Amino acid sequence: MRAIAAGASDVGLQREHNEDSFVVLKEYDLYVVADGMGGHRAGDVASKLATETISEFFKSTANDDVTWPFHFDTNLSEEENRLLTGIRVANRQIFERSTRSREYHGMGTTVVGAMFSARKKRMYIGHVGDSRCYRVRDQQIQLLTRDHSLINDYLLAMPDLTEEQRSELPKNVITRALGMQDQVVVDLQHDDPRPGDVYVLCSDGLSGMVTDDEILKIVNGAADIREACAQLIVRANEHGGEDNVTAVLIKIEELPDGTTGVSSTGGAGAGAPSTQPGIGGLGTLADDAGMTDMPTSPGANAERGSKPPVY
């Protein structure tokens, strides 16, 4: 099996700045979405620092001789340790930046990351906050992550609350994020994908505006993941575009005959699309450094109607 991906981000209709970031690092089959928070564009800094740090960690640890900054957990697989450590390093970077600078004090970001192992035929997922990972399989959609939010914690502790009581609970309050403390608890899991599965990584600008059933219908109805990604952004804006919206779609495919799907770095090998990682606006490819930052105005990307690239 191999993974192909498309990613897009839009400022939405009611925000001045896009504080979401995403990365597709095809060489390592790594996919990350981050949703920043903090005044004076500090959220933008936090989300970009998260995606950049995780990407750089994966690149720098491709060599087995490299010493990792955190203890290797022998109860976890190498892939789980790598994803966990990348997120923990990002947390420390954001926390240290926020404590050194008054401008960035209190900044933070959610994150959801996925790493596909062609060798093990497994998808590894790590997240902090309320950025989500869904899996679309056939005619069903399943939420694989649990929001680290105040309302979710209430519902777990008191599942018998009435609808009226639930409506009174505070919304959009997250209980876990990168950068809040020098250490962070990361939820890890793995999933066994099948050919045809599509994993949807997204910020709450998508999941808060577009229902699960709508996501399912768009993913299954689109011609390809590029079109599905663009349609998800448009649908979120059609429902009000109250927040920045970001989506990365990862589709699992059967390998063409004669290919192995495994490279020395653990990503997709022969026969798999290859490109630089991408961060930024809808349909934006990365530059030679692997990062882009395209300013967006409200609704601009959706109005262009362009499709994001496939990686």
For the purposes of burial, counting CB atoms within 10 Å of the CB of 7, is it exposed (0-12), middle (13-18) or buried (19 or more)?
buried
How far is 189 from 142, CA to CA, in rounded Å?
14
How far is 70 from 191, CA to CA, in rounded Å?
24
How far is 281 from 271, CA to CA, in rounded Å?
27
pTM reported for the whole predicted model: 0.85
Give residue 310's pLDDT: 61
One-letter amino acid at 133 equals C
SS3 246: strand
Confidence of residue 67 (pLDDT cuts 50, 70, 90): low
Give residue 277's pLDDT: 36
Helix (DSSP H) and strand (DSSP E) numbers for the chain: 8, 10
Segment 13-66, tens digit of pLDDT: 999 999 999 999 999 999 999 999 987 689 999 999 999 999 999 999 887 666
Q: Please give the mean pLDDT across all residues of the chain.
A: 84
Q: What is the CATH number of domain 2-282?
A: 3.60.40.10
> b vs e for 158-178, b when ≥16 Cβ sit within 10 Å of the residue's Cβ?
eeeeeeeeeeebeeeebebbb
For the purposes of burial, counting CB atoms within 10 Å of the CB of 195, is it exposed (0-12), middle (13-18) or buried (19 or more)?
exposed
One-letter amino acid at 89 equals V
- Tokens found for residue 47: 């989300």
The better pLDDT of the pair 161, 293 is held by 161
Closest by CA to 87, choosing from 183, 23, 8, 21, is 183
How far is 230 from 128, CA to CA, in rounded Å?
25
SS3 155: helix
Segment 68-106, tens digit of pLDDT: 788 888 899 999 999 999 999 999 999 999 999 888 999
Closest by CA to 276, choosing from 266, 264, 265, 286, is 286
User: Residues near 289 by Cβ (< 8 Å), separated by ≥ 6?
Assistant: none
Q: If phi over 0 gives left and psi between -120 and 50 gives alpha, with beta otherwise, what is residue 154?
A: alpha
Q: Long-range CB contacts (< 8 A, 24+ apart) of 75-78?
A: 76/188, 77/120, 77/124, 77/190
Give residue 80's pLDDT: 95
Segment 209-221, tens digit of pLDDT: 999 999 999 999 9
Confidence of residue 298 (pLDDT cuts 50, 70, 90): very low
